[in-house]
């Protein structure tokens, strides 16, 4: 009996940039460098936030979790991508593809919501400074983090099995360098509009709704900053939010731009580079943004390094 879905038995072929061998070697070198910097930078942020008691505050609690998510986000796909870029074998097993997709959906969803939680934390710090400690108490921080993880995992638990079980009639070539949901859905040999609509609904809840909450928070913050009379006070409030706002712009900007592109071949290549951007460049830049623009983190880093 002929198999109707050979990919279930043999896994997939990640096409990536295999039509450009010279580009593959250049990408291997660049991506390995970026990944190494991302791992070092995010591990450093986590270490500093844990070791320095001055950073045991809600802002740095969420920052340490953001660094952990960035580590998971990159590690979910970059090692496999580097292995495929290095040699002629572009294959990935069915189990490996499933794990990669699940990790990608869950961690990406958690990060979207965590950025909204961090925006609320900045709102409380700037707009309600006298009540900040009472508002952002440890129990609330833990509940907000649990809600972020629960939402991301729910997205992955629902969408990952639906995507992986779509019939593909022997199609194994994924036009990407990772098992990304849109690329896998496009391979289906049946009408997948129901899965696409469900994915769109989750995207509204996990991407657009948190982005809306971030914009509302910063609207209130902007209004509060305008009411501050002293230039030093305004500068302090802006410095409190600038690092987070930069990270939000990088992360959401690349995701929204990528998913608004039409499905022609040139935009598919753009989508691959944009996926590289928010999988590698953003996790690599986040620790630098928070370190270079934050005196407390720089001071704690010097203290930890001096101790060692």
Taking the domains of the chain in order of start, what are their residue ranges?
7-307
Is pLDDT at 72 greater than 60 in this prediction?
A: yes
303 to 87, 247, 291: CA distances (angstroms) = 43, 25, 14
Is pLDDT at 239 greater than 80 in this prediction?
A: no
Treating both helix axes as pointing N-terminal to C-terminal, what angle do 231-259 and 265-276 enclose, rounded to 10 degrees?
A: 140
Helix (H) or strand (E) holding 178: none
- Kindly state the average pLDDT of the residues 136-153: 94
**CATH number of the 7-307 domain:** 1.20.1070.10
Predicted TM-score (pTM) of this structure:
0.87
Q: Quick one: pLDDT at residue 3?
A: 43
Helix (H) or strand (E) holding 243: helix 231-259
Q: Quick one: pLDDT at residue 143?
A: 95
- Kindly state the average pLDDT of the residues 141-156: 94
Is pLDDT at 267 greater than 60 in this prediction?
A: no
What percent of the chain has pLDDT above 90?
A: 27
Nearest to 149, CA basis, from 205, 96, 108, 198? 108
What is the pLDDT confidence band of residue 277, given thresholds at 50, 70 and 90? confident
More confident residue, 70 or 258: 70
More confident residue, 17 or 127: 127
Is pLDDT at 300 greater than 90 in this prediction?
A: no
- Kindly state the average pLDDT of the residues 71-78: 87
- Kindly state the average pLDDT of the residues 12-21: 77
Question: Mapping DSSP to helix (H, G, I), strand (E, B) and coil, where does residue 293 land?
Answer: coil
What is the pLDDT confidence band of residue 265, given thresholds at 50, 70 and 90? very low
Q: Quick one: pLDDT at residue 43?
A: 92
96 to 5, 176, 181, 266: CA distances (angstroms) = 17, 15, 14, 28
Question: Mean pLDDT over all residues of the chain?
Answer: 83
Distance CA 243, CA 119 (A): 11
Helix (H) or strand (E) holding 288: helix 282-292
What is the pLDDT confidence band of residue 36, given thresholds at 50, 70 and 90? very high
- Kindly state the average pLDDT of the residues 37-64: 89
Residue pair 104/184 in contact by the 8 Å Cβ criterion: no
Residue pair 263/148 in contact by the 8 Å Cβ criterion: no
Is pLDDT at 217 greater than 80 in this prediction?
A: yes
More confident residue, 20 or 173: 173
What percent of the chain has pLDDT above 70?
A: 90
Sheet holding 12-14, edge to edge: 91-92, 12-14, 173-174
How many CA atoms lie within 13 Å of 71's alpha carbon, on the beta-carbon side? 15
Distance CA 305, CA 308 (A): 5
Q: Quick one: pLDDT at residue 262?
A: 47
Helix (H) or strand (E) holding 205: none
Is pLDDT at 144 greater than 80 in this prediction?
A: yes
Residue pair 79/36 in contact by the 8 Å Cβ criterion: no
23 to 3, 26, 30, 302: CA distances (angstroms) = 36, 5, 10, 39
DSSP E strands, 70-226:
91-92, 173-174
- Kindly state the average pLDDT of the residues 218-223: 91
Q: Quick one: pLDDT at residue 263?
A: 46
Distance CA 39, CA 75 (A): 9
């Amino acid at each position: 009996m002929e198999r109707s879905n050979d990919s279930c038995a043999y896994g997939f072929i990640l096409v990536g940039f295999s039509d450009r061998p010279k580009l593959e070697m250049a990408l291997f070198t660049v991506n390995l460098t970026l990944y190494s910097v991302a791992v070092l930078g995010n591990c450093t942020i986590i270490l500093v936030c844990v070791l320095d008691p001055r950073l045991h505050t809600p802002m740095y609690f969420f920052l340490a979790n953001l660094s952990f998510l960035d580590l998971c986000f990159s590690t979910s796909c970059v090692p496999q991508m580097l292995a495929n870029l290095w040699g002629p074998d572009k294959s990935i097993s069915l189990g490996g593809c499933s794990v990669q997709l699940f990790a990608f959906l869950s961690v990406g969803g958690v990060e979207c919501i965590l950025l909204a939680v961090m925006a609320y934390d900045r709102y409380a710090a700037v707009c309600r400074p006298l009540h900040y400690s009472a508002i952002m108490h440890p129990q609330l921080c833990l509940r907000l983090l649990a809600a972020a993880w629960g939402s991301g995992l729910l997205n992955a638990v629902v969408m990952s099995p639906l995507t992986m079980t779509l019939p593909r009639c022997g199609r194994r070539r994924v036009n990407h360098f990772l098992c990304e949901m849109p690329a896998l859905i496009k391979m289906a040999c049946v009408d997948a509009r129901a899965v696409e609509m469900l994915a769109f609904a989750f995207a509204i809840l996990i991407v657009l709704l948190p982005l809306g909450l971030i914009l509302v928070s910063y609207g209130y913050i902007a209004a509060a900053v305008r009411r501050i009379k002293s230039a030093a006070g305004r500068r302090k409030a802006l410095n409190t939010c600038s690092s987070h706002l930069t990270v939000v712009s990088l992360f959401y900007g690349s995701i929204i731009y990528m998913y608004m592109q039409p499905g022609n071949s040139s935009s598919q290549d753009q989508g691959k580079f944009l996926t590289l951007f928010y999988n590698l460049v953003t996790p690599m830049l986040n620790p630098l943004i928070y370190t270079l623009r934050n005196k407390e983190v720089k001071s704690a880093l010097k203290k930890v390094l001096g101790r060692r």
